[in-house]
Structure 1
Amino acid sequence: MSTLQTLDRGLEAIDIVSRRTGGISPAALADELGVHRAGAYRILATLEQRHLVAKGHDGLYRLGSGALVVAGRFMSQYRTAAQPVVQELADATGCTAFVSIADRDESVAIAVAEPAARGDIGVRYTMGARHPLEHGADGLAILAQRPERDSDIAAVTRARTLGYALTEGEIQSGTVGLAVATGGAFTSDAEASIGIIRLGRPGDLDVDALLPLVQAARDSLTRQY
């Protein structure tokens, strides 16, 4: 499929600016885009007019308020799409199901569902719950989809090898979690994972039976995002 080069460069510029937390100069942006400085200035001026970037007092450009507005709308749409998928997964597995996304060095639950046939004792896992990425199946699944690094902990390496993350008692004592990554293969993707959590020990989770259900839920969600 053919693309619009000017639009593609504008989107690439937003991605570059977003990754430069300290800001970026027009000259540096021109070098990264492979365009003349005049072209970089025009791109930045267009993005600034839409409030997608903002020029600081130091002359460097950073993401603008418009990017936050778009991000908020994306999260609302993503959560709306994820919720029925998560509910179906919870009902199919009899476990609490969730979708989590990466927020810097933390994993944040953006959609959570309990099975319709919930017992008297369950797992308390609420939307908005957050924890370090290196703790919990959801965060490990997200880390496992990133390029391999020497600093990776053993649990990340294991999840990358298996294609899923399995943890015990890392978020709540007496619980086990299973998760797979849903996105992040490309720089523009949201880094996310989908999975289940329940009371018990790793042996209490029938991975052979539950993993295909989690993977099917992942596929259903990624067809939409």
Structure 2
Amino acid sequence: MTPDQRNTAASTAGSKTIDTGLRLLEILKDHPDGLTITELAQLAGIHRNAVSRHLVALGHHRLAARIGTRFTLGLGIVELNAAVQHRLRSAASAALQVLADACNATAFITVLDIDESQAVVLTVAEPRVSQIHVSYRAGTRHPVNRGASGIAILAGRPPPPEERPAITQARAIGYSVTAGELQPGAWGVAAPIITAGRPANASVGVVTIGARDENEIAPLVLSAASEIARLL
């Protein structure tokens, strides 16, 4: 084998190792109560010994944790998620304030929680010239399939076998519109933040008291989503 062939083989083996490790993390994400090595091996379709070796490596980086005979995601995942959210918050701050002022409405970034069942408000910008606007608190949670922001995130991801018609519609037009789903009297528009063609994990939107002109607000929200994605 030539040096170039050895380098190619080593690179291929390294890529396969990384791919397998990521696949194990994705499986663990879908099983918050943890899995045994045997269960992981069956779901991943690889040998138990290989799973064991990968779990040791992931454990060294605190990406996987052992509880008795079961393995779960480690706290390192939370730290990585926090770092990504900090970057998103920093990149979005200026664009978010521009959106809030342009719409004269409260603007916000929402992210998908780690278990993917809830959406969490990451950061909020209030309009600087408005006398009356919706007060929205960072850290607020709601089911991801409810409200414009959560629906927008799901619309920026591949469709599952079944989903709410509102999500399908939002995917078709690029943004979601809801009224009164999370708060009586509130009206919201949100668009997914999509980077490098990857499934959305966040959205940007605005919320107002009472309905506004969708044709006026939606382009501003879509523009903000594109700008934030560009900055990321």
State the TM-score, normalizing by the size of structure 1. 0.82
Q: What residue number does 1:24 align with?
A: 35
Kindly indicate whether the alpha-carbon contact (under 8 Å) linking 2:34 and 2:70 is maintained by their aligned counterparts in 1.
Answer: yes
| DSSP 3-state at the match of 2:152 | helix
Q: What residue number does 2:125 align with?
A: 113
Kindly indicate whether the alpha-carbon contact (under 8 Å) linking 2:156 and 2:200 is maintained by their aligned counterparts in 1.
Answer: no
Q: How far, CA to CA, are the matches of 1:70 and 1:148 in structure 2?
A: 26
Q: How far, CA to CA, are the matches of 1:182 and 1:141 in structure 2?
A: 9
After superposing the two structures, state which structure 1 stretch, 141-150 or 99-108, moved more.
141-150
- List structure 1 runs of 4+ shifted beyond 6 angstroms: none
1:125 maps to 2:136: yes
Question: Structure 1 residues 33, 157: CA separation in 2 closer, same or farther (over 3 Å shift)?
Answer: closer
Question: Structure 1 residues 161, 61: CA separation in 2 closer, same or farther (over 3 Å shift)?
Answer: same
Q: What residue number does 1:70 align with?
A: 80
1:168-207 equivalent positions in 2, closer than 5 A: 168-183=179-194, 186=198, 191-201=201-211, 204-205=212-213, 207=214
Q: How far, CA to CA, are the matches of 2:155 and 2:200 in structure 1?
A: 14
Match 1:93 to one of 103, 118, 121: 103
Q: What residue number does 2:4 align with?
A: none
Q: How far, CA to CA, are the matches of 1:210 and 1:11 in structure 2?
A: 39
State the TM-score, normalizing by the size of structure 2. 0.79
Q: How far, CA to CA, are the matches of 2:52 and 2:165 in structure 1?
A: 45
Cα deviation for residue 138 of structure 1 reads 1.0
Kindly indicate whether the alpha-carbon contact (under 8 Å) linking 2:153 and 2:200 is maintained by their aligned counterparts in 1.
Answer: no
| DSSP 3-state at the match of 1:218 | helix
Letter in 2 for 1:115: P
Cα deviation for residue 98 of structure 1 reads 0.9
- Unmatched runs of 5 consecutive residues or more in structure 2: 1-10
Cα deviation for residue 33 of structure 1 reads 4.4
| DSSP 3-state at the match of 2:33 | coil
Size of the alignment, in residue pairs?
Answer: 216
Cα deviation for residue 31 of structure 1 reads 4.6
1:223 maps to 2:196: no
| DSSP 3-state at the match of 1:107 | strand
Question: Structure 1 residues 65, 107: CA separation in 2 closer, same or farther (over 3 Å shift)?
Answer: closer
Match 1:82 to one of 89, 92, 99: 92
